[in-house]
Structure formats: C-alpha cells, structure tokens
A and B are shown apart, each in its own frame.
Chain A
Amino acid sequence: MRSLGKYVIFMGSLFTRRETFNTYIRLITQECINVGYNSLFIVGIVSIFMGAVTTIQTAFNLVSPFIPDYVISLVVRDMAILELSPTIIAIIFAGKVGSSIAGELGTMRITEQIDALEVMGINASSYLVLPKVIACVIMYPMLVILSIFLILLGGYFAGTLTGILSSVDYLYGIRYEFIEFNITFAVIKALAFSFLIASISSYKGFFTTGGSLEVGKASTSAVTNSCIAVLLADYALAQLLMG
C-alpha cells in the first residue's frame, strides 16, 4: 500500500513545475523514436511468427469436415485483435522498453544526474518521465495496430504456402462477422497497458538506490511488475468492456 501511495504521488509530480511546451515537444519526439521506431523490428518479427504459428496450430486443432476452412483465419483474427497483439506484445514491450526506461533512470539516479537536474531547478520526474509516458501512450497503440496487421499477414503466408487453406478462404475468414468494436477494445487496452508499463518502469527506475546491482534489480522488477499489472488490467478491461 505504501508503494502504491508513493506511485500515485510520483504520478502527480509529473504534472507540477513543468517545463516549456517546446521542451516537451522535443523530448516526446525523441522518446517516440526510442520507444516506437526502435521497437518495430522486435514487434514485427514476433507478430509475423505469432500469426504463422497460430494459423498452423488452429488448423491442427480444427480437423473436421463439418468446420469450414475460413474458421481458421476467423480464429486467428479474433485472437490477434483481442489478445495476441494488445497483451502478448505488451509483455514484449515491457521487456524491451520497460527495462530500458528503468535502467536509464536508475543509472541516472545512482550517477547523480537526476540530482543535477534538481539542483538546476528542473522537476526531474516531469522532465524525464512525462515524455516517456506520453511517447509510450502515443506509440504503443500504433504498434498494436501494426502487430494485428502483421499477425494476419504471417497467418496468411503460413496458411496459404503450406496448403492449410486457400487464399480466398483466409481472406473470407478474416472479414467474416467482423466486429468493429474489437479494434476499439484493442486500442483501449493498448492505451492502458502502455501507460502502466511506462509509469511502473519509470517509478522503479526513478527511485533506485545503491549501485549497478540495484539498477539491474530495478530493471527486472520493472518488467515483472509491469507484466503483472498488464495481466490484471487485461482481466479488468475484459470484464468491464466485454463481460
């Protein structure tokens, strides 16, 4: 409870003693490159393979003459939109971006760089953390949308090239009884998860004490706590919006 209170106060401190608008624009742009552009490769690779594997495994489990082939791509589509892209990519994102944020802030803390900012009269939490949180909230939903597309693309190639289902069946399946709200749901999840990952990782890094060993521990703790928070939020959002 004490940590939760400290986390809430920390979040509040992001919005006090702010710097100029132009300063934030410059910092957010840089962070968008760090957290978004630099995550494209890993998100791309993971998504394509998740799509391919999901298609093959779904087909393997739906061996029945009574189930049409297009159901395979329908299942892949709904899994991608509802769970694989927002949640599994969030775990990947926590591992890459969350650990990087905690490591960066932790190192800045133990090498007194954060103290240097404070002495200059800069609110270090607002200056360092707010741009990271905003950049994650902007970039992660875009990564999720890209991931959905790549999962479907990976599934298409795996399905058609191995002869599991035809191109026509696959495309029919991914459009069959499409519920638009699912995309909205995925984006809502992405917004919530990205905020949790960025803020928890920043919190863990910002309050690091000790030396390099503690920075490593803070990074690990940031990833672990972010993943738990993402899974809890996933359940809560599913219950709230679809339950």
Chain B
Amino acid sequence: MIEINNITKSFKEKQVLFDISGTFFKGKNNLIIGSSGTGKSVLLKNIVGLITPDFGDVKYNERSFINGSEQDRKQIRREMGMLFQGSALFDSKNIEENVKFPLDILTDFPEDEKIDRVNFCLERVGLVNINKKMPSEISGGMKKRVGIARAIVNKPNYLFCDEPNSGLDPQTSIKIDNLIKEITSEYLITTIIVTHDMNSVIEMGDHIMFLLEGKKLWEGTNDEITKSDLKELNDFVFATQIMKQMYLR
C-alpha cells in the first residue's frame, strides 16, 4: 500500500500540485487520471522520488520515502518497477541486457539465474527469441512489453506506469492493459497507472483518482466513475462520442 499525504509542488512561481492526499492499494490497479497538463505525471514523479515535493510525504507500507533515511529510500527503490511513457530502454544495450540490468545492479545472482529470470519475464509478456535484438529493431508495442519485463524482473512490490498505452494502436493498448492487470493481481503488486485513456479507466480502474489543475477532485472505482454528478469529471469522462453513447443513453 502507498499513502500520499498533502503533496504540494511548485516550479518557480507556478504551483502544479495542491495538497494531494490519497491511498493506493495492494493488488489493485490504481489509476491517476486527468487532462493533459493537469499534474498527473508530476504527481507520479513525486511518488517515485524523481521529484521532491515542496511539502508532504509518501509512505510505502508505513515507511516514509520523502523523510526517511537514505538506507530506507534505497530499500524502497529496490522494490519499485517503472514503465515509462517512451519505454526508456537503454539504446546501447540489447533486449536481454535491458531486462537483466536491474538484476546486474541490484542483485548478486549467478549469471545463469539472471538469464533464466530474464527469459521468464520476457515470456510472461509474450516475447520470445528477441533477446539479442536492439531496442531500435522492435516495434513500439514490443518496447512497452520489454519495459514491463524490465519493471517486473526484480519482483517489485510497487509498479508504476506512466501513460502505458500512449502512441499504441487500440488492440496493442488493450493487450498492454491486460498484461498490467494480470501482473498486478498475479504478484499482488501495488500498481499506479497514469493515463487519460478512458478504455483503460473502464477496463482496469480498481481505484481511480481524478486530478484537475493540480487538485484532487474525485476518487472512486470504475463502476462509480460513470455515475458521478461531478461536472468536471463528467466533462472528462464523456468527452468522446463512444463514451456518451455507451453510458448516457
């Protein structure tokens, strides 16, 4: 479980996050949604420690990440896996080396064991016989799956996904969503996903936090989101014709 308390962040004069608090649950797909430029990715970066908030704290199973010791932070980081918007695979390494990288740095497993684990994770995300390919030789959807394999290779307790299906076709997006959903429930991971894709919200939103202009406006489940009376939320959810036709008949 991850708790965020009163997260506030400004960049120079511009305040981006306003006193955001909430809880993200273990074994659930926790979604942070909102329009572009509303602070979702900044909030995620605060949670994983890429940005330090001006005020507030992030707790991983009661362990403070922001105000904790360097040792605690290091330990918590070892329990994290993250899928980036652009996959963030290392260009100079092949697929196998990319997936193996966290094991090389964070563990002292024998090489055979590392390769077995890499192959297991690549198979788990549906990729075989691409170990020696370079990131530039595979498609965007495959890169995302390699990114997921790298994120789960060290058996994380916390998985973070920043716009996991941005730039992907609808079919591949659904595959990626299903994969994240399966992995979350299979390994009982606390997963936080930043997205503005309504299909993902409806399909996998066990717990959803809606942000608008840096403020948390609503929290609930995918069943509740289509029944809310909140105007700003409805404007976001029912922005497309498909959603209007499906839920506002």
Whether, in the assembled complex, A188 has its beta carbon less than 8 Å from a beta carbon of chain B, the answer is: no
Q: Which residue of A lies closest to B79 (CB)?
A: A121
User: Using a Cβ–Cβ cut-off of 8 Å, how many residues does chain A contribute to the interface with B?
Assistant: 15
Q: A19-B105, A113-B91 are in contact. Are A119 and B86 (CB under 8 A)?
A: no
Give the distance in Å from the alpha carbon of A23 to the alpha carbon of B108 in the complex: 12
Q: Which of A107, A108, A112, A116 has the most CB of B within 10 A?
A: A116
Give the distance in Å from the alpha carbon of A121 to the alpha carbon of B89 in the complex: 16
- C-beta contact mask, B90-103 vs A, less than 8 Å → 1, else 0? 11000000000110
Whether, in the assembled complex, B106 has its beta carbon less than 8 Å from a beta carbon of chain A, the answer is: yes
Whether, in the assembled complex, B120 has its beta carbon less than 8 Å from a beta carbon of chain A, the answer is: no
A119: contacting residue among B82, B85, B90, B91, CB under 8 A: B82
- C-beta contact mask, A15-38 vs B, less than 8 Å → 1, else 0? 001010001000000000000000
Say whether B86 contacts A111, CB under 8 Å.
yes
Report B67 CB to chain A, min CB distance, Å. 18
Report B92 CB to chain A, min CB distance, Å. 9
Q: Which residue of A lies closest to B104 (CB)?
A: A23
Say whether A121 contacts B74, CB under 8 Å.
yes
Cβ of B73: which chain A residues have Cβ within 8 Å of it?
A: 121
Cβ of B102: which chain A residues have Cβ within 8 Å of it?
A: 120
Whether, in the assembled complex, B48 has its beta carbon less than 8 Å from a beta carbon of chain A, the answer is: yes
Say whether B88 contacts A115, CB under 8 Å.
yes
Give the distance in Å from the alpha carbon of A219 to the alpha carbon of B201 in the complex: 41
Q: Which of A118, A119, A122 has the most CB of B within 10 A?
A: A119
Say whether B88 contacts A111, CB under 8 Å.
yes
Whether, in the assembled complex, B22 has its beta carbon less than 8 Å from a beta carbon of chain A, the answer is: no
Cβ of B101: which chain A residues have Cβ within 8 Å of it?
A: 120
Cβ of A108: which chain B residues have Cβ within 8 Å of it?
A: 91
Give the distance in Å from the alpha carbon of A119 to the alpha carbon of B88 in the complex: 12
- C-beta contact mask, A99-133 vs B, less than 8 Å → 1, else 0? 00000000110011101101111100000000000
Cβ of A120: which chain B residues have Cβ within 8 Å of it?
A: 77, 80, 101-102, 105-106
Q: Which residue of B lies closest to A16 (CB)?
A: B70
B88-144 CB contacts (< 8 Å) to partner A? 88-91, 101-102, 105-106
Cβ of B160: which chain A residues have Cβ within 8 Å of it?
A: 119
Q: Which residue of B lies closest to A30 (CB)?
A: B92
Report A179 CB to chain B, min CB distance, Å. 44
Give the distance in Å from the alpha carbon of A112 to the alpha carbon of B143 in the complex: 14
Whether, in the assembled complex, B50 has its beta carbon less than 8 Å from a beta carbon of chain A, the answer is: yes
Say whether B105 contacts A115, CB under 8 Å.
no
- C-beta contact mask, A134-158 vs B, less than 8 Å → 1, else 0? 0000000000000000000000000
Say whether B105 contacts A116, CB under 8 Å.
no
Say whether B78 contacts A121, CB under 8 Å.
yes
Whether, in the assembled complex, B49 has its beta carbon less than 8 Å from a beta carbon of chain A, the answer is: yes
Report B172 CB to chain A, min CB distance, Å. 20
Say whether B48 contacts A23, CB under 8 Å.
no
Give the distance in Å from the alpha carbon of A19 to the alpha carbon of B106 in the complex: 10
Give the distance in Å from the alpha carbon of A107 to the alpha carbon of B89 in the complex: 12
Residues of A whose CB lies within 8 Å of any CB of B are: 17, 19, 23, 107-108, 111-113, 115-116, 118-122
- Between A and B, 16 residue pairs with Cβ closer than 8 Å are A111-B86, A112-B86, A113-B90, A113-B91, A115-B84, A116-B84, A116-B88, A116-B90, A119-B50, A119-B82, A119-B160, A120-B102, A121-B73, A121-B74, A121-B80, A121-B106
